[in-house]
Structure 1
Amino acid sequence: MALSDLLARAGNACEFCGATSDLAAVDVPPAGEIALCPTCREEVPADAAHWRCLEGAAWSAEPAVQLAVWRKLGQLDQPWAAEVRDGMMLSDEVQGWTEVAGVVEHRDSNGVVLAQGDSVMLIKDLVVKGANFTAKRGTAVRRISLVADNPGQIEGRVEDQRIVILTEFVKKI
């Protein structure tokens, strides 16, 4: 997209904060380009409070802006950013991109990468809430499933019950 077309779509303003000077096109693969000011193009702006502008930008109807805001909010270690990200209403197209972009890596207690179908061993007795039993240390859990949006959780079958297990309590076997 030509810069003039991009700026026209953006209303000659930064699509994050609304600033109007020194705008430039920023590529947001695979969605396209957005117009951002110099401050919003920085990884870490001098004023961290500047990122609060994303609260308003999260409501943009433009898919590329939605994806860029979603990604930036995921990089910020702030409770408000997580709350805004969780509350975003993404178009179906953008939701598909976030699922691809949001691939997480599951690691066991020793830092070994876990994959779908692996076998793990419990390294601690775990009280299973709602099932009235304790999964004992040393229990092998075969053919695990990965929880897609949480790198700290896997699912597996213990005593014929499908349970969620925290990765910090397992080691790959």
Structure 2
Amino acid sequence: MSVEKELEARSGGVCELCGSSEGLSVLEVAPSDGSAEQSIYVCSTCRDQIENPENMDETHFNCLNDSMWSEVPAVAVMSYRVLNALGRQDLIDMMYMEDDIKAWADAGLKSQLNSAVVKDSNGVVLNAGDSVVIIKDLEVKGAGFTAKRGTTVKNITIPQDVPDHVEGRVNGTKIYLKTEFLKKV
């Protein structure tokens, strides 16, 4: 039986990440030997966003709330990697994977080393995963709310393409924050 036929049978003819039945194809979960155990069946939308992370749409990947619990290791690994790319540490922290599956998931993550050093308002170096406190009320353009002084932002990420900014969630919305208005906790 071909890998595609095995995956189609395993998935019930739908994307193993989002459940769509449009434009399905095999996606190997690297490092892979090409077997069905190390591949997933995905729709064209999921495939495009996984292969082009700069196009990743977080709202599309709300489906990972379900697929991250898959008993199929390759699906769990890909869910982990996409959640990592989206900076969804809250969901990653809920996941449980055996040590060998976790090692496989980590092996495929791109290095997130940032050559630029990002510092808070006091000159303290900030790293991905740190928590910071907002030191000034900040109007969030386009979101219709103000990030209040004293708000703690946990599990920040350091974007490589936007200097002197960090990315984090305030009021459930992912936003960029200028480091000059932050203090490391």
Match of 1:40 in 2: 46
Q: SS of 1:51's equivalent?
A: helix
Match of 1:89 in 2: 96
Q: Map residues 79-118 of structure 1 onto 2, 5 A cutoff.
A: 81-102=88-109, 105=113, 109=117
Match of 1:24 in 2: 25
Aligned counterparts of 1:48 and 1:105: Cα–Cα separation in 2: 22
Aligned length: 112
Listed one character per residue, the Cα deviations across residues 70-95 of structure 1 (whole Å, up to 9, x for unaligned) are 11111114xxx221111111123211
Instruction: Indicate the percent of aligned positions where both proteins have the same amino acid.
Output: 29
Structure 1 residues 108 and 19: alpha-carbon distance in aligned structure 2, compared to 1, 3 A threshold: closer
Listed one character per residue, the Cα deviations across residues 116-159 of structure 1 (whole Å, up to 9, x for unaligned) are xxxxxxxx89xxxxxxxxxxxxxxxxxxxxxxxxxx9xxxxxxx
Within the candidate set 39, 51, 72, 2:61 is matched to 51
Shift in Å at residue 104 of structure 1? 5.6
User: Structure 2: any 5+ residue segments left out of the alignment?
Assistant: 33-37, 50-54, 125-157, 159-185
Radius of gyration: which is bigger? 1
Shift in Å at residue 106 of structure 1? 7.7
Match of 2:85 in 1: 75
Aligned counterparts of 1:33 and 1:13: Cα–Cα separation in 2: 14
User: Structure 1: any 5+ residue segments left out of the alignment?
Assistant: 111-123, 126-151, 153-173
Structure 1 residues 50 and 104: alpha-carbon distance in aligned structure 2, compared to 1, 3 A threshold: closer
TM normalised by structure 2 equals 0.51
**8 A Cα contact 1:63 1:91, kept in partner:** no
Shift in Å at residue 2 of structure 1? 1.9
Listed one character per residue, the Cα deviations across residues 32-89 of structure 1 (whole Å, up to 9, x for unaligned) are 11001111112225x5411100111100011111111111111114xxx221111111
Shift in Å at residue 8 of structure 1? 0.5
Match of 1:15 in 2: 16
Amino acid at match of 2:104: W
